[in-house]
A and B are shown apart, each in its own frame.
Chain A
């Protein structure tokens, strides 16, 4: 009875009367909009006490045994290639991943989708000597994987195999890394997949809201928000993909991490033999991207076949190296990022307005995140839910965070910190990520100190700075005819047209 987790998840989202917590939190008119019926924000219950307080007080928590997470070995080859090695003998497997600079943030505006197509057809398009289909046969006969992908900041090439197959699989990995062929038939197949995504992108409330709130947050043509169109996909050629590879895939532009059941000295020797002779290439230069902060106001998208509205309030957020990062982490726990946060307790548990509700100041490594407040509510309480979000945003100022809330937020972040490094893989991938984005190597270790130092004044300051009602663009996707009140209750409404430009239409300017 093998369990089909992946395929179940496609259909199962509908079936599994679900998870207790939705995945909202991991998503990623300049006139202030007044709440027509201002109501006092409900006070959080964090300060109240019950009988369990004494019960828990009585339970001993023995000191955790000292735990020093293993440190990966870092090697830099003469050609600039950085390699991390982390032995992990628990399972007879070896996993590797290479992070390579050069992602969709640098693709031309008339070829949006290039990086995605590159990430897919790099692997399926095969190497100079073997087709992608041949690679499929060779790898799957060993239950091994070599896969490629690309995102905003770069591309990745992953490997996973039984340790006995490592030499064989590494040869394929190296061949694909350095000699890809991007055969036209697989480029076409990758384009079909992107076209399928384009055609279906207006089917679901959630995907419309996520995409369009990103455009409001960063600007519609921002590399952080734009999406492929039929025309931009059609414009991508095999030469573009070969050129992209020639431009970015150099040893001095990548970080390779290997973890699993091997001996580091032996692995180092093997990798040196394989990669030392690979000549360095042109240095990667990060594309500068200017961000247009969201224009405040109410934005509406009509969707007639739903009985729920998705509301997303969007403002500017931060990068993880922002000095406000730790204070916003504490703020998020209190505002909308936890089970006992104000948004969850007040709008979900107290008012029953939503299943999915959350918010906070989101932080990314490579580019600023967004500040978000999100709620999904039945059409007939759309305006009520917007008022509710406004009230909670205001409440962060009118009912400043309490000592109990801060204490709970800090305890929560610090006590769960160990789960950031409870496996060797996590530790190594975190280190690679820091180096890839230019963060200090001890960024993880700084976290508990940073959080512990956050004071109530810090939280108040970042609440004032990021949770400012007048700065939010408010997006509502839903069936307007069923709303409790028209959206212009809040002022001028800008309608967003999400009609998909059909093939043959000129690319957006």
Chain B
């Protein structure tokens, strides 16, 4: 067993060092990686790595905050939180009664919310009464809940690294367990998606609003990033707050969450990767048993909106109490574009390590930034994103100086070829980085699920390196010329305006929203 594992890794090394014989090397990887698509459309990847009796998994649901319905920003993320609330059998002392109680919560909420938001003729007394009825209904439903039972079970079984996240592109669930808990995992993970119960929704909405305050409202860089993206995108939801605009977040309902779930949490829109000490036959038998009955449904239709071409530079200036910051972005095509790897190469030349151009120019020589980067893949990768630059100024230097320095560097990329040595560095580094990224079960599971979802084939993880290997100097210059154009640029800066001291009643930072509770 150990021997064939080494052989498998050796094979990867060969791909990495030669970049040739790819088909043959993927064939050897294939010996331990199996993909199956169940009848209901669910894709499952199992990769054997019998080093220690543990396994990790990564469930990727191909719906992220970009899928939030109009007027319901924050919904994908909200549902991610609900996926920890249990099922009709997990986390309830009496589901039959709880179900009725939850239905009463929904109708009480609808009545209260309608009256509360009435434009004219809003009856404050009536609102208060309806609110009291809603609170009562919540309390009634709550009596059946066993708090956090879902997470508690995972912890008790030895779960490690239990978490989930929602990006603009996808919603991801992951943890690791001892290898003898595979069936426990199959039971829990399938239940979560087959029979979720959207319980404790309104309390969790408050929790999520606290998350928004933490990440956005009370963080200078959070406020800046939200404004930056809102300025960079006119039509595409990449410009919308992923955690949700406060007013929309505060009006999401459990009924809407269920609708979102039924539309996007379908087997055909989901990929699960399992990596560890697993026997594929056993794993697939369990997957079939637990996930097989998950009702099939059509994969949601692809998004129609494509961000229209930008034809004027946009600038956002945030005048805040905090220290200055600089970020700028240029629209680029999505990852299917034939130049995708060229963007990766540019990112590597500009930003990776102390030999990178931005480090040597902005940090080492000009001494105006403590850190400076330019990279692809922000705010997402699935749809046309931005090639983004940011820098942290050294005290005494203004954001504008950073902008100028970035533009000087971009001018070089546009007007001169990169050197052979630089390009070689990029290729060597891509190969070594791929190797390093395979080290952990959890990391490998994430990559397999990611590449399977985005390309329909996990093998693209390895072909990525091949694509970077083919990038030429002319490609870099051509892509730089078409991308780094003033009219394609959005800039956001934080300008430090120190408020008068000890004046707590002064209006907060320009972007500090007032609560509407």
Contacts and interface: CB of A to CB of B under 8 A. Distances in A.
B153 A418 contact: no
A416 B160 contact: yes
A27 interface: no
B356 to A, nearest CB: 9
Most chain B CB within 10 A, of A18, A62, A302, is at A18
Contacts of A304: 321, 499, 503-504, 506, 508
A239 interface: no
A162 B16 CA distance: 11
B91 interface: yes
Nearest to A3: B377
A143 B151 CA distance: 40
Nearest to A499: B501
Interface string B181-209: 10110010001000000001011111111
A305 interface: yes
Nearest to A160: B436
A113 to B, nearest CB: 14
Interface string B1-24: 010011001101100000000000
A71 B388 CA distance: 45
Given A11-B221, A11-B327, A92-B9, A408 B155 contact: yes
A178 interface: no
A140 B2 CA distance: 31
A197 B168 CA distance: 30
Interface string B354-373: 11000000011001001001
Nearest to B191: A52
A7 B375 contact: yes
Nearest to B327: A11
A423 to B, nearest CB: 7
Interface residues of A, number: 110
B158 to A, nearest CB: 3
B218 A339 contact: no
Contacts of B147: 44-45, 340, 345-346, 349-350
A348 B80 contact: no
Contacts of A197: 370
A374 to B, nearest CB: 12
B114 to A, nearest CB: 22
Nearest to B228: A11
Interface in A14-59: 14-22, 44-46, 48-52, 55-56, 59
Contacts of B184: 56, 59, 61
B242 interface: yes
A8 B169 CA distance: 14
Contacts of B91: 50, 52
A307 B217 contact: yes
A1 to B, nearest CB: 5
A15 B392 CA distance: 18
B222 interface: yes
A205 B210 contact: no
B513 interface: yes
A364 B272 CA distance: 37
A263 interface: no
Given A1-B464, A56-B184, A304-B503, A64 B178 contact: yes
Interface in A104-160: 124, 132-133, 136-137, 140-144, 160
Interface string A337-381: 011100011101111111110000000000000000000111010
Interface stretch (B28-36, B51-59, B117-125): B51-59
Given A4-B347, A193-B370, A305-B509, A412 B166 contact: no
Contacts of B381: 1, 3
Given A2-B344, A192-B370, A21 B439 contact: no
B370 A141 contact: no
B320 interface: yes
A17 B351 CA distance: 25
Contacts of B103: none
Interface string B412-431: 00000000010011001111
A196 B367 CA distance: 11
A444 interface: no
B33 to A, nearest CB: 15
Given A63-B180, A143-B431, A353-B210, A56 B153 contact: yes
Nearest to A230: B395
| B interface bracket (residues with beta carbon within 8 Å of A) | 35 or more
Contacts, number: 369
B158 A305 contact: no
Contacts of B13: 91-92
Contact of B54 (A18, A333, A418): A418
B377 A376 contact: no
A358 B2 CA distance: 41
Contact of B370 (A16, A92, A196): A196
A90 to B, nearest CB: 6
Most chain B CB within 10 A, of A14, A140, A340, is at A14
Contacts of A18: 77, 165-166, 211, 215, 243
A382 interface: no
A8 B378 contact: yes
Nearest to B347: A4
Contact of A48 (B12, B93, B142, B388): B93
Given A50-B90, A93-B435, A419 B54 contact: yes
A340 B151 contact: yes
A345 B354 contact: no
Contacts of B215: 13-14, 17-18
Given A17-B167, A206-B214, A415-B158, 18 more contacts: A4-B377, A14-B221, A14-B226, A17-B77, A19-B164, A64-B53, A91-B439, A192-B394, A196-B395, A200-B322, A305-B499, A308-B213, A380-B517, A412-B155, A415-B156, A419-B158, A419-B161, A481-B505
16 contacts: A1-B340, A3-B450, A16-B167, A17-B166, A44-B147, A50-B92, A50-B93, A51-B92, A67-B53, A91-B12, A91-B438, A92-B13, A189-B363, A306-B218, A308-B213, A352-B206
Interface of A: 1-4, 7-8, 10-22, 44-46, 48-52, 55-56, 59-65, 67, 69, 89-93, 124, 132-133, 136-137, 140-144, 160, 162, 188-189, 192-193, 195-200, 203-206, 302, 304-308, 333, 338-340, 344-346, 348-356, 376-378, 380, 408, 411-412, 414-419, 421-423, 479-481
6 closest Cβ contacts across the A-B interface?
A415-B158, A352-B206, A339-B151, A143-B432, A340-B152, A14-B222
